[in-house]
Every structure is written in C-alpha cells, then in structure tokens.
Amino acid sequence: MTASPLLSIVLAAGKGTRMKSDMPKVLHKLAGRPMLGHVLALAQSAGSTRVAVVVGTDMDAVEVAAKSAVPNAQIFLQRAQLGTGHAVLAAREAIEAHDGDVLVLYADTPLIRPETIARLRARLDLGAAIAVLGFRARNPAGYGRLVTDGKDELIAIREDKDATPTERRIELCNSGVMAFRVPGLADLLARIGNSNAKSEYYLTDAVELGRTDGLCAAVVECDEDEVLGVNARDQLAEAEAIWQARRRRELMHEGVTMIAPQTVFLSFDTQIARDVILEPNVFFGPGVSVAEGAEIKANCHIEGASIGAGARIGPFARLRPGAKLAEDVHVGNFVEVKNVAMAAGAKANHLSYLGDGSVGAKANIGAGTIFCNYDGFNKARTEIADGAFIGSNSSLVAPVKIGAGAYIGSGSVITKDVTAGSLALERATQEERPGWAEKFRTMMARRKAKS
C-alpha cells in the first residue's frame, strides 16, 4: 500500500434519537469501549497521519472522548444535520491543509476490520480516485445502491428514495465509507447539491461529480456484518454479538480453549495467551491479561487484572482492578480480590475478601478471611509476607503487616503487626458450663407447655 499521508474524517454528529438515551449515540459501548473509540482505533491502525472528528452541537462529551483516544485529533462542529456531504465539509479546513488520501468513517459503524481499510486504500493505488466500501445486503431496502459497469468500476451511488425500480433491484449496497485521492477534494465536495428526496447534501454524489471530471471510482466489497451501523439498542446488541463471536474465534485459533465459547464475554483489550482454559460464563472487563496455561473456571468476573502463568481462578471468583496475580496463584470460589498483588504460589481458595494490599509467595489465606481496608474515610493496606498462614475466619484490620512464615489463629481479629514466624491469636476465652443445655431445654419446654 502507498505511503501517501492519510487524513481520516470520522463523522460523529448524529443525534442518535432511536437510542432513547441522554448519552450521545457514539459513546455507547461495544466490548467495553465507546463505538467512537473503536472507529478512532481503526483510523489509527489504517496509518492516519491526521484525524478529524465532526461533532454536533452540545456534544462536549464526544469531543472529550475523541481527544482521550487521539489527543491530536481536530474537532469540527456541524451545526445543522444537512447530510453526509455537509458533514464532511465541516472539516474543510483539515481537508484543504492536507496533501494525500482522505478516508471518511462513521463513528456508529464500529466493526470494520483494518485489513478492509487496507484493501480500500489499495484500490486507490490501482488507479481509482474514489474507492467506496460496498456490501451485498440480505435485504437491500433502505440502503443506497452501487451502480457499476458490471465489474468494480462505480458509475453512481443512488439513495434508496431516489432510485428507479431497476436500481432498487441491485443487491450491492453502499456502506458510506469512502476513500479519496483527489486533488482539490474540498472544491469537489462543495459542488454537491441537495436536489433529492431529502433535500440533503449526499457525500455519495461525489462519485458522479468526479466522473464528470474524468476521475475513476471503484467498489471494494466486504461482508455485510462488518459495516453494520448502530442506530438503536437492538443494533448495538447485534454488533456486540458479532464482535464477541469474531474475537472468540480469533483467540481459539491462537490456542485458547473455550468450553462454551458463546458464554465467554471479552473486552476490546482482553489479552489471553495460548493454552489458557476458559470454562463457561466468564466475563472480562477492560484491562485484563491472562498468561499461558492459566485456568479460569466457571462463573468468574474479571476486570483490570493480570493473571500469571498456571494460575487457577474460580469458580465464582471476582477479580477487580489492581488485582495482580503471579504464576501458580489460586483464587477460589467466592473470593474477591481488589488492588492486591499475590506472589507466586499464593492461595486464597474460599470465601474471602482481599482488598488493598499484598500477599507473599506461597502464603495461604484461609476461608472467610477479610482485609478490613476501609474505615469509612480512608483505605489502608494489609501486607502478608512469604509463607504466612492466615487461619479461617480472620479479620486483618489495615494498616497491618503479617511477617514471613507467621500463623494467624482462626477467628482472630488482628489489629497489630505480627512478627515473622510468630503465632498471633485474638479470641475471647472459651467457657463451658456442664449440664446447661439439658436444663435450658427443660425450662423452655415448660414455658411452651404453659403458653
């Protein structure tokens, strides 16, 4: 592919009224990332040297999200919604300052693959001045039709409401995504009129205008699912399902075992190494990495965590942000770990909460152990050194340190540091009253009989 500089213009001004939401449509999340974020990542993977984002009025949140994803992105305002051609021309300043290819993307179309954009740009290398991404629709109604010469050269794009009955029978449809290698592109776009059924300025009219100037236009095809546009919640769910199925297949082809793939949910940045085993009903939020040979058992929820090689997690475990598990760590059923580093071979196998602290190598955390990390105002750390043994049903009141090899007796509430190799106990003295149980039962039976 050519090394021609690339300006990507991302159209994000749509109101998204069918989403029935106070949030701008393009900020609704797919696989844990806003749709806008997916499209900006696509623009960057395509090799964009410059990125322009076109937003609507009262969309400060969209501007913030765009700048967060691409700090040097230029933001342009489309004050009125007068069509795609009008939206692209909102970024006229960026177009006129750019010498190279221009790519137009849509912030509500988050499933396009980088390799598809590479094919689109490659068509420019083969002589096209305008390349349009098209697809074969299962139901073409409502889509613009791509009128070709029978091959891949494009004659015109006809919007559905403006198409003739013959043109409506065309199955090849317009995705809206276009790439240009046109000197003076802004001037070409400025010639687009609005003499159509919607009185809008269609970017698609650039094809016929370009042909009158002697420019070649071409079509590059992709799968329909790849160019699914999201306008409503059901379409967002459909896009999520497509993205998840695609990513699951990729991971399985890379050596990850999924017992029931359709029940595993991944985030846009989930990293899973080969020979990892995922049992059913595992959910990954953003920021998770899993090293080779780890096993994630059923019904686990994991976000913002790193899991070392050979670790065993679950079933029914929750790893929250800041959980850092080294190799061969065991975190078992109904254990929650938040902002805790667990060193190699450490174990917390049952019914515990570990929050804000560290657990040393081969330390053992007994069932029912709680890191009491919050006093209602501030959080403090619990530090457990290598080889320590924490007995069941212990409460460790932070800030506190447990020394290497120390033992904590079951049922203890530990409020002070424990030195290495020591046994720490904190319990009331056990009292026993012989015969008390039988006397109590007799007394209660008499009361019940009287009543």
Residue 102 placed within a domain:
yes
Rounded CA-CA distance 202/292 in Å is 51
51 plus 188 within the same structural domain: yes
CB-CB neighbours of 434 under 10 Å: 6
Q: Which residue has tokens 């975190």?
A: 331
Question: Omega of the bond prior to 315 within 30 degrees of 0, cis?
Answer: yes
Rounded CA-CA distance 66/447 in Å is 74
Is 350 one of the annotated active-site residues of the chain?
yes
Nearest residue to 397 (alpha-carbon basis) of 363, 364, 353: 353
- Report in angstroms the alpha-carbon separations of 105 from 4, 54, 118, 337: 18, 10, 13, 40
Query: Are the C-beta atoms of residues 404 and 386 closer than 8 Å to each other?
Result: yes
275 plus 199 within the same structural domain: no
CB-CB neighbours of 126 under 10 Å: 10
Question: Omega of the bond prior to 399 within 30 degrees of 0, cis?
Answer: yes
The per-residue pLDDT for 319 is: 98
The secondary structure of residue 428, as a DSSP letter, is P
Residues of the chain with pLDDT under 50: none
The per-residue pLDDT for 121 is: 97
203 plus 242 within the same structural domain: no
Report the CATH number at residue 58. Answer: 3.90.550.10
Residue 451 placed within a domain:
no
Rounded CA-CA distance 122/3 in Å is 11
Report the CATH number at residue 250. Answer: 2.160.10.10
Residue 440 placed within a domain:
no
User: Which of the listed residues 194, 211, 227 is the one where a domain comes to its end?
Assistant: 227
244 plus 210 within the same structural domain: no
The per-residue pLDDT for 429 is: 84
User: Which of the listed residues 187, 205, 227 is the one where a domain comes to its end?
Assistant: 227
Residue 162 placed within a domain:
yes
Number of domains in the chain: 2
The per-residue pLDDT for 145 is: 93
257 plus 185 within the same structural domain: no
Residue 432 placed within a domain:
no
Q: Which is catalytic among the residues 28, 86, 330, 350?
A: 350
Q: Could you report the per-residue pLDDT of 203-224, keeping only the tens digit for each?
A: 999 999 999 999 999 999 999 9
The per-residue pLDDT for 195 is: 87
Query: Are the C-beta atoms of residues 364 and 390 closer than 8 Å to each other?
Result: yes
Main-chain phi, psi angles of 296, to 5 degrees: -110, 110
14 plus 158 within the same structural domain: yes
Q: What is the residue range of 102's domain?
A: 6-227
214 plus 323 within the same structural domain: no
The per-residue pLDDT for 2 is: 60
In a 13 Å sphere around the CA of 274, the CA atoms on its Cβ side amount to 3
Rounded CA-CA distance 365/392 in Å is 8
What is the distance between the terminal CA atoms of the chain, rounded to a whole angstrom?
93
- Report in angstroms the alpha-carbon separations of 236 from 27, 30, 65, 97, 242: 11, 7, 19, 35, 10
67 plus 157 within the same structural domain: yes
Pairing of strands 6-12, 101-106: parallel
275 plus 181 within the same structural domain: no
Q: Which residue has tokens 């139901």?
A: 139
Residue 108 placed within a domain:
yes
Q: Could you report the per-residue pLDDT of 239-259, keeping only the tens digit for each?
A: 999 999 999 999 999 999 999
Residue 302 placed within a domain:
yes
Residue 355 placed within a domain:
yes
The per-residue pLDDT for 162 is: 87
The per-residue pLDDT for 160 is: 86
